[in-house]
Amino acid sequence: MAHTSNTISLCLFIVQLFFMLLAKANAKIPAIIVFGDSSVDSGNNNHIQTIARSNFMPYGRDFAGGRPTGRFSNGRITTDFISEAAGLKQIVPAYLDPAYNMSDFAVGVSFASAGTGYDNATADVLGVIPLWKQVEYYKEYQKKLRAYLGDTKANEVISEALYATSLGTNDFLENYYTMPQRRSQYTIDQFQTFLVGIAKNFITNLYNLGARKISLGGLPPMGCMPLERTRNMGNGNECMESYNVVAVNFNEKLNGLVMELNKELPDIQVVLSNPYEPMLQMIKNPSSYGFEVASIACCATGLFEMGYACDRFNLFTCKDANKYIFWDAFHPTERTDRIIADHVVKTALSKFLA
Ligand SMILES: *[C@@H]1O[C@H](CO)[C@@H](O)[C@H](O)[C@H]1NC(C)=O
Ligand SMILES: *[C@@H]1O[C@H](CO)[C@@H](O)[C@H](O)[C@H]1NC(C)=O
């Protein structure tokens, strides 16, 4: 009798172990938590005083319900697709959007703000949310999450969540190459080192707040954005090679930072999600991805318009954004973002999502 019950409990134990291992093998992330700029802002800027906005048509015309949300896209953006790939919701809502509450934010939230950068001075240009303030919002979020889920479950979400960051382009294009201050202080190489120092502090802060799984976003080939090509008019609207070189150099420095953080901070797992190569391939060879237009954007003339200049009454706006790599002069279409998201999900993020 005793023998039988021992056998049964051993069997139960093995079954239990099996399910535990299975659960572990299937364990994707419980939430996605996003910091950054317009590449990942899902509507926070709708709720602050700034002109860096896109909560009007034709933005969002291919979003569910044909609804502008504040995403700088005709539809969804990369972090929405990553969330979906992780088995979470189809969209990552903006923290400042009153249409959502903690039951939504417990599985996905974006603190990102269009127009921001690593450098405080970048956020100042358009009066948007600086990175340090995004971290302050995240601290407030942690309190609300603990109140909503209880300490144990909340701490689990905090340590198992995927933290996705995407910013940096504005530090160069909106700040360094546009405003005089940083250029008078730093060479381009020194400025990059300054930004990487801020990135290091930022990731270390997140780590100290409990984050462990972190995706640091790299820079796209920013010299190929339609706006930069338009500035390069004298050279036949080619990509601005000098800006692409900066993006490559900065991504190399970010990669160095990733290695450094993985070495220095116990249990942290940081990866670089780098959109540079997949995006450059699309731009160089649009037809092999089913695109027809790489050099100008869908919205308006496609040469320089974004935000308020990209308006619903512009007769030049393209009919089918899926044929375009860029939606406005600075931001990819939904289709481009989906391809980039698929790429990083299969590469850098596979260790978190597989
Ligand atoms: C969140 O909002 C939904 C409806 O939009 C509601 O059913 C739910 O009770 C709310 N949850 C919290 C925690 O407020
Ligand atoms: C940015 O501003 C915040 C708030 O004023 C400050 O705490 C932080 O040190 C600044 N960051 C840098 C790199 O200057």
CA 19 to chain centroid: 34
- Is 328 assigned a catalytic role? yes
- Rounded mean pLDDT, 40-59: 97
Q: For residue 274, how far is its CA from the centre of ligand 2 (angstroms)?
A: 26
H/E stretch holding 146 reads helix 131-149
- Asked, for residue 124, whether it belongs to a domain, the answer is yes
Q: What is the DSSP string of 224-245?
A: GSHHHHHHTGGGTT---HHHHH
- Asked, for residue 160, whether it belongs to a domain, the answer is yes
CA 257 – CA 303 distance, rounded (Å) = 35
pTM: 0.92
- Rounded mean pLDDT, 327-334: 98
- Asked, for residue 96, whether it belongs to a domain, the answer is yes
CB atoms within 10 A of CB 343: 19
Cis ω for the linkage preceding 58 (within 30 of 0): yes
CA 86 – CA 40 distance, rounded (Å) = 17
Asked if residue 13 has pLDDT above 70, the reply is: no
Contacts of the segment 308-316: beta carbons below 8 A, 24+ positions apart? 308/51, 308/53, 308/56, 310/54, 310/58, 310/59, 311/56, 311/57, 311/58, 312/56, 312/57, 312/58
The Cα angle at residue 30 between residues 25 and 34, in degrees rounded to 5: 125
Q: Which atom of ligand 1 is nearest to the CA of 102?
A: 13
Q: Looking at the 3D structure of the chain, how many domains does it have?
A: 1
- Cβ pair 40, 79 in contact under 8 A: yes
Q: Does the CB atom of residue 132 touch ligand 2 within 6 A?
A: yes
CA 49 – CA 9 distance, rounded (Å) = 63
> pLDDT (tens digit, 9 = 90+) per residue, 203-221?
999 999 999 999 999 999 9
- Rounded mean pLDDT, 274-282: 98
Q: Which atom of ligand 1 is nearest to the CA of 148?
A: 13
Q: For residue 151, how far is its CA from the centre of ligand 1 (angstroms)?
A: 20
Q: How many residues does the chain have?
A: 354
Specify the CATH number for the domain of residue 127.
3.40.50
Catalytic pick among 171, 328, 337, 343: 328
Residue 1: predicted pLDDT? 46
Q: Is the dihedral of CA 178, 201, 34, 220 positive or negative?
A: positive
And the tokens for 75?
Answer: 């539809």
Q: For residue 198, how far is its CA from the centre of ligand 2 (angstroms)?
A: 9
- DSSP letter for 338, please: H
- Cβ pair 84, 126 in contact under 8 A: no
- DSSP letter for 94, please: B
Asked if residue 7 has pLDDT above 80, the reply is: no
Domain that holds residue 155: 29-54+61-276
Rg, the chain, Cα only: 22
Q: Above pLDDT 90, what percent of the chain?
A: 90
- Is 295 assigned a catalytic role? no
Q: For residue 131, how far is its CA from the centre of ligand 2 (angstroms)?
A: 9
- Asked, for residue 291, whether it belongs to a domain, the answer is no
- Asked, for residue 342, whether it belongs to a domain, the answer is no
- Rounded mean pLDDT, 234-249: 94
* Phi/psi at 85 (5° precision): -65, -25
Q: For residue 287, how far is its CA from the centre of ligand 2 (angstroms)?
A: 45
Residue 28: predicted pLDDT? 85
- Is 311 assigned a catalytic role? no
The larger pLDDT score, comparing residue 17 to residue 48, is at: 48
Strand positions, DSSP E, the chain: 32-36, 108-110, 162-166, 213-217, 269-273, 326-328, 331-332
Q: Does the CB atom of residue 198 touch ligand 2 within 6 A?
A: yes
Q: For residue 45, how far is its CA from the centre of ligand 1 (angstroms)?
A: 23
Catalytic pick among 54, 83, 171, 331: 331
For the chain, what is the mean pLDDT?
94
Residue 103's pLDDT band (boundaries 50, 70, 90)? Answer: very high
H/E stretch holding 193 reads helix 188-208
Residue in 116, 120, 129 to alter for ligand 2 test, most ligand atoms within 8 A of Cβ: 120
Ligand nearest to the CA of 202: 2
- Asked, for residue 171, whether it belongs to a domain, the answer is yes
Nearest CA residue ID for atom 1, ligand 2: 120
- Asked, for residue 236, whether it belongs to a domain, the answer is yes
Ligand nearest to the CA of 120: 2
Ligand nearest to the CA of 171: 2
CA 216 – CA 41 distance, rounded (Å) = 16
CA 48 – CA 262 distance, rounded (Å) = 35
* Phi/psi at 295 (5° precision): -90, -25
Within 6 A (CB) of ligand 1 lie 101-103
CB atoms within 10 A of CB 162: 27
CA 351 – CA 154 distance, rounded (Å) = 22
Nearest CA residue ID for atom 8, ligand 2: 132
- Asked, for residue 221, whether it belongs to a domain, the answer is yes
CB atoms within 10 A of CB 257: 18
